[in-house]
Chains A and B, each alone.
Chain A
Amino acid sequence: MPAVSFEHIVKRYGAVTVLDDLNLAIEDGDFLVLLGPSGCGKTTLLNLLAGLLEVSDGRITIGDRDVTELDPKDRGLAMVFQSYALYPTKTVRGNLKFGLAASKLPSEEVERRIAWVAKMLQIEPLLDRKPAQLSGGQRQRVAIGRAIIKKVDVFLFDEPLSNLDAKLRTEMRLEIKKLHDELKSTVVYVTHDQIEAMTMATKIAVMDGGVIQQFGTPDEVYEHPANLFVAGFIGAPAMNMRSATLAVKAGKVEAVFKSGARLDVSDYPFQAPARDGLPVVIGMRPEHFTIGEPASGGTAQFTLPVLSAERTGSDATLYLTFEDEMLALRVAPDLAAGLRVGSTVPVQFQAGKANLFDAQTGRRI
Chain B
Amino acid sequence: MSQVSVSERAAAAGEVPVTRAPYFVRKKKGITPRSIAVLVFLTICALFFCVPLYVVVVTSFKTMDQIREGAIFTLPHIWTLEAWDHAWNHACSGIKCDGLKVGFWNSVSILFPSLILSISLAMVTGFALALWNVRWAGGFLFLLFICAFVPFQIIMYPLIVMTTTTKIYGTLWAVAVIHAVLAMPVLTLIFRNYYKDIPTEIMSAAMMDSGSFWRIFFEIIVPMSGNILIVVLILQITSIWNDYLIGVTFGGLTGQPMTVNLANLITISTGTTNYAHNMAAALLTAIPPLVVYFLVGKLFVQGVTAGAIKG
Contact = CB atoms under 8 A, between A and B. Distances in A.
Interface in B110-131: none
Contact of B305 (A77, A88, A139): A88
A73 B308 contact: no
B9 interface: no
Contact of B202 (A50, A87, A133): A87
B219 to A, nearest CB: 7
B303 A85 contact: no
A73 B208 contact: yes
Nearest to B205: A85
Contact of A98 (B210, B305, B310): B210
A79 B202 contact: no
A232 interface: no
B220 interface: yes
B16 interface: no
Given A87-B220, A89-B220, A89-B223, A132 B207 contact: no
Q: Give the one of A99, A100, A101 with max B CB within 10 A.
A: A101
A81 B309 CA distance: 10
A88 B308 contact: yes
Contacts of A89: 220, 223-224, 304
B208 A83 contact: no
A165 to B, nearest CB: 12
Contacts of A36: none
Contact of A136 (B215, B304, B310): B310
Contacts of B306: 88, 130-132
B269 interface: no
Contacts of A50: 204, 208
B134 to A, nearest CB: 15
B138 interface: no
Contact of B209 (A83, A101, A134, A163): A101
B208 A79 contact: yes
A225 to B, nearest CB: 33
Contacts of B309: 83-85
A99 B219 CA distance: 12
Interface residues of B, number: 26
Contacts of B206: 87, 98
A363 B306 CA distance: 49
Given A88-B307, A88-B308, A89-B223, A146 B204 contact: no
A155 to B, nearest CB: 11
A82 B205 CA distance: 11
A149 B149 CA distance: 49
Contact of B211 (A79, A86, A102, A134): A102
B212 interface: yes
Contacts of A47: 204
A85 B308 contact: yes
Given A83-B201, A85-B202, A101-B215, A78 B208 contact: yes
Interface in B281-311: 303-311
Nearest to A47: B204
Contacts of A121: none
Contacts of B201: 81-85
B208 A52 contact: yes
Interface string A114-134: 000000000000000011111
Contacts of B307: 86, 88, 130-134, 139
Contacts of A52: 204, 207-208
Given A86-B307, A88-B305, A89-B220, A73 B199 contact: no
A62 to B, nearest CB: 14
B154 to A, nearest CB: 39
Contacts of A163: 310
23 contacts: A50-B204, A51-B207, A51-B208, A52-B208, A71-B211, A72-B211, A73-B208, A81-B201, A83-B310, A85-B199, A85-B201, A87-B219, A88-B306, A89-B224, A90-B219, A90-B220, A90-B223, A98-B219, A102-B212, A131-B307, A131-B308, A136-B310, A146-B209
Interchain residue pairs A-B with the least CB separation, the first 8 = A132-B307, A131-B307, A73-B211, A101-B210, A89-B223, A85-B201, A132-B306, A88-B308
Given A52-B204, A85-B205, A136-B310, 14 more contacts: A50-B208, A72-B204, A83-B309, A84-B201, A87-B308, A88-B202, A88-B308, A101-B215, A102-B211, A131-B307, A132-B307, A133-B307, A136-B311, A139-B307
